Amino acid sequence: PNPPEHLTLKSSTNTSLQFEWNLPINSNGNIKLYISYFQYIGPKYFVSSKCSFVTVEAISRETASLLQTFQNLLAYTSYSLQVAAQNEYGVGHYSRPLVVETAPWISEPLENLNAATFGPYPTEDQYQAHVIITWTIPCITNGEIQTFQLNIFGVREGQSNHTYNRTILPVYDSNGYVTYKEINLKPDFDYFVEITVNIKEVSKSSLPASTSFKAPSASKY
């Protein structure tokens, strides 16, 4: 038989893909079943050079239906499907591969979060210390990173709390390494930093990664 016609993606989630197709134009006999060949291609999202992935074996299935669902898939990942029809004389040619991807999902938490303080410097008339915050994006982001949400909580005995938020665009190198400089610090405050990952088209943020640091004392000068 000829390949099935109009192989299309009917629906998708972050863990499943459902396909449908039509009967072949020329069946050249009685169609007994369809044989599908489903293959993992790889993540659609950026994967840093430090990450590695396990190879996923291709799946071959038989069905009498014009509809087939694949489950337990990886989010925002490309897969391909080919389908062939079988009659009493044998299996026909496979359709051309249809390449599709699953929907995005919540990212894993970011990794290797660190903070290092600098300053203040003797030549300055006012207190100007800063902190360099670094992290790496996770190997599994499950989608395209839209922003990093940074929350800073500062406390010092006898002083009002110093808390604020920052929304940071995803700029990173081939290793997924991010560097951010924050200058809004107060002397001798203990700061707690919490950062989450926001993925495009996903409403929930990742679980937070956190670290802490102490702002330098103003008495240095």
What CATH number did the domain enclosing 207 receive?
2.60.40.10
Are 91 and 138 members of one domain?
no
Are 88 and 121 members of one domain?
no
First to last CA, the chain: 86
- Across the range 17-22, mean pLDDT stands at 98
Quote the mean pLDDT of the chain. Answer: 95
Using alpha carbons, select from 115, 128, 116 the residue that is nearest to residue 218: 128
Cβ 196 vs Cβ 148: under 8 Å: yes
Residue 106 lies in a domain: no
pLDDT at residue 190 tops 90: yes
Find the domain containing 54 and state its range: 5-101
Q: How many domains does the chain have?
A: 2
pLDDT band at 218 (very low <50, low <70, confident <90, very high): confident
Cβ 108 vs Cβ 146: under 8 Å: no
pLDDT of residue 52: 86
- Across the range 193-204, mean pLDDT stands at 98
Are 145 and 50 members of one domain?
no
pLDDT tens, residue by residue, 129-188:
999 999 999 999 999 999 999 999 999 999 999 999 999 999 999 999 999 999 999 999
Q: Which long-range contacts (CB under 8 A, 24 or more apart) does 51-58 make?
A: 51/139, 51/176
pLDDT at residue 220 tops 70: no
pLDDT band at 55 (very low <50, low <70, confident <90, very high): confident
Count of beta carbons in the 10 Å neighbourhood of residue 94: 17
* Rg of the chain (C-alpha set): 26
Rounded Cα distance between 192 and 152, Å, is 6
pLDDT tens, residue by residue, 94-127:
999 999 999 999 999 999 999 999 999 877 788 8
Specify the residue for token string 């390494």.
Answer: 177
Q: What are phi and psi of 174, to 5 degrees?
A: -65, -20
Specify the residue for token string 């190997």.
Answer: 139
pLDDT at residue 219 tops 80: no
Rounded Cα distance between 110 and 53, Å, is 18
pLDDT at residue 53 tops 90: no
Give, for 106, the enclosing helix (H) or strand (E): none
pLDDT band at 221 (very low <50, low <70, confident <90, very high): very low
Picking from 101, 130, 160, the residue at the C-terminal end of a domain is 101
pLDDT of residue 122: 76
Picking from 73, 101, 129, the residue at the C-terminal end of a domain is 101
Rounded Cα distance between 140 and 196, Å, is 14
Strands of 130-136's sheet, edge to edge? 111-118, 130-136, 177-182
Strands of 67-70's sheet, edge to edge? 5-12, 17-22, 67-70
pLDDT at residue 22 tops 60: yes
